[in-house]
Structure 1
Amino acid sequence: MTETQTMKTPRARRLLRHVPLIAVLIVAALGALTLGDTLSFDTLRDNREALMAFRDAHFAALVLIFIGIYVAIVAFSLPGAAVASVTGGFLFGLALGTAVNVVAATAGAAAIFLVARWGPGQALSARMETSEGRLQRLREGLREHEISVLFLLRLVPAVPFFVANLLPALVGVRFWNFLWTTALGIVPGAIVFTWIGVGLGEVFARGESPDLSLIWEPYIIGPILGLCALAALPIAVRMLRGGKEV
């Protein structure tokens, strides 16, 4: 191998690390353009009898198929995550539906986290480790309040789910902390969407569509915001005591 080839190899490897994330972004873009009308409540309403019949005949298989589809939706940031969550309640009830939704969403989030971490996240995290000044303070603050920040990303409804998956991977968050905070942090929202799905049959029977704006009702958003405040409390206390800048 020549010296030129030897010098090019590390760079080629670095570029290769970006391929999986680029593939995810391409699939996400194609999905946004082609699947917008496919993964919808209209599709669910039109196929509900077939789904219910398949569930009654092949319950375990449907659970596995549903998890696989949901993982793909999250991992590739495809449209339809809210529809999938509601469908979980429609097919499996509140308890099992919530559990299935949380497991599938967490697995999909873990997949895209690892893809992003293996690609640009590794280089960016290494750069932050050796940086100085404000970027170094930001990294130190994130490490000190990593759990609180991760919970906030999951609990604040205004933060898109894919952002909460990608951002931690890019700034060097520990994978285990990301995994368990995701699993716990999405539970409140999962319960709400699954609960909507439990009564979906009656909604369809009346010729109506599910009202996902329910999550913004005071009795729903209030407790979620309370959890946000609880997650932010350690950060606020540290700042009030004159701790490090976050």
Structure 2
Amino acid sequence: MNKKLKTFILVFVLAVTFYVIYSTGLINTLKDLNKFRQLIESAGAWGYIIYILVFIITAVFSLPASVVTIGGGIIFGPILGAILALIGSTIGAVAAFLVARYLARDFIVEKFGDNPIFKKIEAGVEKNGRDFLILTRLVPIFPYNIQNYAYGITNINLITYTVISFITMAPGAFVYAYMAGEIAKNGVTTSLFIKLLVAGIILFGVSQIPKIFAKKKGIDLESLKD
């Protein structure tokens, strides 16, 4: 198929899909926790699938996902909500990665190939491989959704990308979804404060890992922020 025609079809399909998402009010729903909760709960058993599909949509179209993560804990409970949030965010990240690698690679390279973030990620992967992926997943140096597409046009392996994304997203997904579920289920209690303290310590510990990791690998974090 002609390159320009392929690009046109892809852009057209994505534009139509985004229009459908916008016209159905999903974007506004993702900004309102109560609306999102009603959407999932009204779907019954299909709510699990819809929840994960929403995660995929937020990743592919770079929509806000905080309500989705928090909503998982409130709607499905602390444990199940955290698990579903992690599964959904991982599948969503992989979906965006695959779009960049197999469907929209030429378009993305043409439109965003000179973007500083894309260049830094490409150079980082070329020099440090999966170590760079681990680092940027743990440290919010670059916008998360942009990373999904940027890594799609690098030579990093899909399985490596999926496994590392799953592992590095786990702490955040579990802490936010679990805490939201706890508050919804039991309210603000002494037990909650203790759990929040433990969660804070865990997140602080996780935040220190990349700094140690970067120093060991000789990666200058400050230069990536410029």
TM-score normalised over the length of structure 2: 0.68
Equivalent residue for 2:63, pick from 56, 62, 78: 78
Task: Note the C-alpha offset of 1:71.
Answer: 1.8
Aligned to 2:214: 232
The CA RMSD measured in Å over matched residues stands at: 3.9
Distance, in Å, in 2 between the alignment partners of 1:124 and 1:77 is 14
Structure 1 residue 224: Cα displacement: 2.8
AA in 1 matched with 2:68: A
| Counterpart in the other structure of 2:35 | 43
Provide, for residues 3-46 of structure 1, a one-character-per-residue CA deviation record: whole Å limited to 9, x for no partner: xxxxxx6xx2365157436744775688689655322224247x
Q: Is 2:10–2:104's contact at 8 Å kept on the other side of the alignment?
A: no
Out of 142, 162, 178, the position equivalent to 1:195 is 178
Per-residue CA deviations over 1:95-132 (Å, capped at 9, x if unaligned) read 3222211111111111111111124536988xxxxxxx
Cα gap change, 1:103 to 1:218, in 2 (>3 Å): closer
Secondary structure of 2:156 counterpart: coil
2:143 maps to 1:160: yes
Per-residue displacement from partner, 1:60-107 (whole Å, max 9, x unpaired)?
A: x3222222222222222223x111111111122333222211111111
Partners of 1:161 and 1:88 in 2: how far apart? 19
The share of aligned pairs that are identical, in percent, is 22
2:94 partner letter? A
State how 1:21-60 maps to structure 2 within 5 Å.
Answer: 23-24=13-14, 35-39=26-30, 40-44=32-36, 47=38, 51=41, 58=45
SS of the counterpart of 1:186? Answer: helix
Q: Taking structure 1 as reference, are residues 143 and 76 closer, same or farther at Cα in structure 2, changes over 3 Å only? A: same
Question: Aligned to 1:64, which of 49, 61, 67?
Answer: 49
Provide the C-alpha distance between the structure 2 equivalents of 1:109 and 1:222, rounded to a whole number of angstroms.
Answer: 24
Q: Alignment length, in residue pairs? A: 201
Q: Is the 8 A contact 2:57 2:92 kept in 1?
A: yes
Q: CA deviation at 1:231?
A: 4.0
Equivalent in the alignment of 2:83: 99
One-letter code aligned to 2:218: A
Which residue does 1:6 correspond to in 2?
Answer: none
Residue equivalent to 1:20: 10
Partners in 2 of 1:144 and 1:90 — Cα distance?
A: 42
Unaligned runs of 5+ in 2: 110-120, 189-195, 221-226
Structure 1 runs not aligned, ≥5 long: 1-8, 126-137, 207-213, 240-246
- 1:89 is aligned with what amino acid? G
Q: Distance in 2 between matches of 1:172 and 1:113?
A: 12
Describe the shift of the 1:170–1:19 C-alpha distance in structure 2 as closer, same or farther (beyond 3 A): farther
Amino acid at match of 1:183: F
Report the equivalent of 1:128.
Answer: none
- Report what 2:192 is aligned to: none
What is residue 4 of structure 1 aligned with on the other side?
none
3-state secondary structure, aligned to 2:167: helix
CA distance, structure 2, for counterparts of residue 100 and residue 230 of structure 1: 30
Instruction: Report the secondary structure of 2:84's partner residue.
Output: helix
Amino acid at match of 2:170: V
Contact 2:74–2:180 (CA under 8 A) maintained in structure 1: yes
Q: CA deviation at 1:143?
A: 3.6
Report how far residue 173 of structure 1 moved. Answer: 2.2
Change in CA separation of 1:24 and 1:193 when aligned onto 2, cut-off 3 Å:
farther
Matching of residues 141-180 of structure 1 within 5 Å: 142-180=125-163
